Amino acid sequence: MSLFSLQGKIALVTGASRGIGQHLAVELARAGADLVICARSEAPLRETARKIQALGQRCLVERVDIADIASAEAMVERVRTQWGRLDILINNAGTVHVETILDLKPADWDRVLETNLRGAVFCARACARLMRQNGGGKIVNIASIAGLQSEEKLVAYSASKAALIQFTRTAALEWARDRILVNALCPGYIVTDLNRTFLESEAGAHYIRRHIPLGRAGRPEDLTGAVLFLASPASDWVTGCTLVVDGGQTIR
């Protein structure tokens, strides 16, 4: 199990105020990492911080919107100043807009792409610069099966996640010489506060029966093993991969 230990590591999780991001931040702390957590809203971040500190790990709280590149870069600089290093980035912050292509407004397209792609790319770049100074690191980009298959009314989200997967492959190639390993995780439908009402409705149950071979929606804890693998020494010869955790949905 020492292969999966994060003892002594510093990890940054974006979008850590709730849902998947909050869960993953706490699990990284449980594995031994100290955390930097960021999101646009500070109050729920404090709840995440309390959970991390209860596990005996340090936690730095940053109120940052990663779509604001200058703010994200300033956050990474504060990490360098305060802790001197960064070993892991979980690039999780994201947003979604549900609309048909014919009705989609340019402003909504821009908002999704600015967070899910532009923000994620430049946050990863800022982190990679710091990682390079300390001999390498691990970057896990939280993409989605929406980046691998088509679904109606998700054109902006799907485009952003498909592009994030391709960025992952290119960054893995460019940064391999710096021992910065970059991989993408593609979750399927994970129950969070944002989609719980639908997934627990009759319509949601019908969707699950039709599309997910394992017969249920995912839970945040279903991603724990995959993220610990990609963030830990267990994956030291893995880079540029796209790991799908979706209950079998993409094999339909």
Domain boundaries, the chain: 2-244
Residue 157 is a catalytic residue? yes
pLDDT tens, residue by residue, 210-248: 999 999 999 999 999 999 999 999 999 999 999 999 999
Q: What does the pLDDT read at residue 193?
A: 83
**What is the mean predicted confidence (pLDDT) over 6-32?**
97
Percentage, residues of the chain above pLDDT 70? 100
Catalytic residue selected from 157, 167, 175, 189: 157
Distance of alpha carbon 119 from alpha carbon 111, whole angstroms: 10
Q: What is the pLDDT of residue 111?
A: 97
What tens digit of pLDDT does each residue of 22-50 get?
999 999 999 999 999 999 999 999 999 99
Query: What was the pLDDT predicted at 106?
Result: 98
Q: b/e map of 30-65 (b: 16 or more CB within 10 Å)?
A: bbbbbbbbbbbeeeebeebbebbeebebebbbbebb
* Distance, CA of 20 to CA of 14 (rounded, Å): 10
Specify the pLDDT at position 239: 98
pLDDT digits (tens, 9 = 90+) for 168-210: 999 999 999 999 999 999 999 999 887 899 999 999 999 999 9
Whether 63 and 40 have beta carbons less than 8 Å apart is answered as yes
Tokens of 42: 């500070």
pLDDT at 109: 98
Query: 2-244 in CATH: which number?
Result: 3.40.50.720
Q: How far apart are CA 59 and CA 236, in angstroms?
A: 25
pLDDT tens track for 76-128: 999 999 999 999 999 999 999 999 999 999 999 999 999 999 999 999 999 99
pTM surpassing 0.75? yes
